[in-house]
Structure 1
């Protein structure tokens, strides 16, 4: 797969992606950054980079560690509140004699 095929395929997914100018490093590797732009909020967020080395194209996604951590924290809080509100074990109260 060459760079043109990768760019054409990814361009179909979203029209809001912005590609930077290619940057060539000392060892001959070419790097192209990809950013997602939201016109409504005017915010830009990194998506990842294309790395072209020796004729091979690879994709390196950018991970938003803060978003992942907040998602984990929110999940832990919701799970804790669910257990405190209604424990997973059954009710153990008796209203009368079982005999």
Structure 2
């Protein structure tokens, strides 16, 4: 499969695909950056094509901010549920005065 065929297979992701200038690396590989551009969201990286020894591979870009946000929200939910559990049914003993005074042994 040629590079042109691989480029045509990519979906536009809601906007136009923009391919960067090819860059040569020290080991002889060629790297072509790919970004999706839309009027609403602007440009965002999609990934890179790596051409090495006649083989074309695709490396997708990963946005770690979504993963970090999921971790923060999971921690917030766990803290909220833990606080509610302690407020509704506290782990310390019931020390109300009227319980002690009217207790029959």
Normalised by the size of structure 2, how large is the TM-score?
0.64
- Give 4+ residue runs of structure 1 displaced > 6 Å after superposition: none
Partner of 1:91: none
Partner of 1:57: 56
| Ranges in structure 2 where 5+ consecutive residues have no aligned partner | 86-105
Q: How many residues align?
A: 86
1:9-88 equivalences under 5 Å are 9-11=9-11, 14-41=14-41, 43-82=42-81, 85=84
Aligned counterparts of 2:21 and 2:48: Cα–Cα separation in 1: 12
The question of whether the paired residues in 2 share the 8 Å contact of 1:2 and 1:55 is answered with no
Residues 55 and 17 of structure 1: is their aligned pair in 2 closer, same or farther, counting only changes over 3 Å?
same
Cα RMSD after superposing both structures: 2.4
**More relative contact order in 1 or in 2 (CA 8 Å, sep 6+)?**
1
> Larger C-alpha radius of gyration, 1 or 2?
2
* Deviation sequence 1:45-83 (CA, Å, 0-9, x none): 211110000011111111112221012211332354356
| Ranges in structure 1 where 5+ consecutive residues have no aligned partner | 87-99
